Amino acid sequence: MDEQTTVADLRNLVQQFVSERQWQPYHSPKNLSSSIAIEAAELLEIFQWMTGEQSCHAGMEPATRQHTREELADVLIYCLALANALQLDITQAIKDKMVANATKYPVSQVRGRL
């Protein structure tokens, strides 16, 4: 489904949901940024106290996978809502950031290490 759905499709889906509920007054950049952080913390909580290896195994278990799917969706929904609220072109933002990251982290210097 990812291959057939555009960022614009997802943004429109979020915008329709927000509009139908008349939530625009509550969707300030501060509130949406807070919501992103809260949902990201809920995503992190799933794997809290696990080693990297344990988290990989847990992430493949059906219940953990479903919980992760839901929390990740919440994070992305709020990110799209923030992009809508600020009228940001998220595709261009990601492309620009990847160019900046490539300059900051050249392959010749960072390949295979953090």
Question: For residue 114, is pLDDT > 90?
Answer: no
Q: How far is CA 16 from CA 51, 103, 106, in A?
A: 40, 38, 40
Give the pLDDT confidence of 7-52 residue by residue, as tens digits.
Answer: 999 999 999 999 999 999 999 999 999 999 999 999 999 999 999 9
Domains (ranges, CATH) in the chain? 2-110 (1.10.287.1080)
Can you say how many angstroms the Cα of residue 44 is from the centroid of all Cα atoms in its chain? 12
Listed in sequence order, the residues at least 6 apart from 39 whose beta carbon sits closer than 8 Å to its beta carbon are 71, 74, 75, 78
Taken as a whole, the chain contains a residue count of: 114
What's the pTM value of the predicted model, to 2 decimals? 0.92
Q: What pLDDT shows up at residue 29?
A: 98
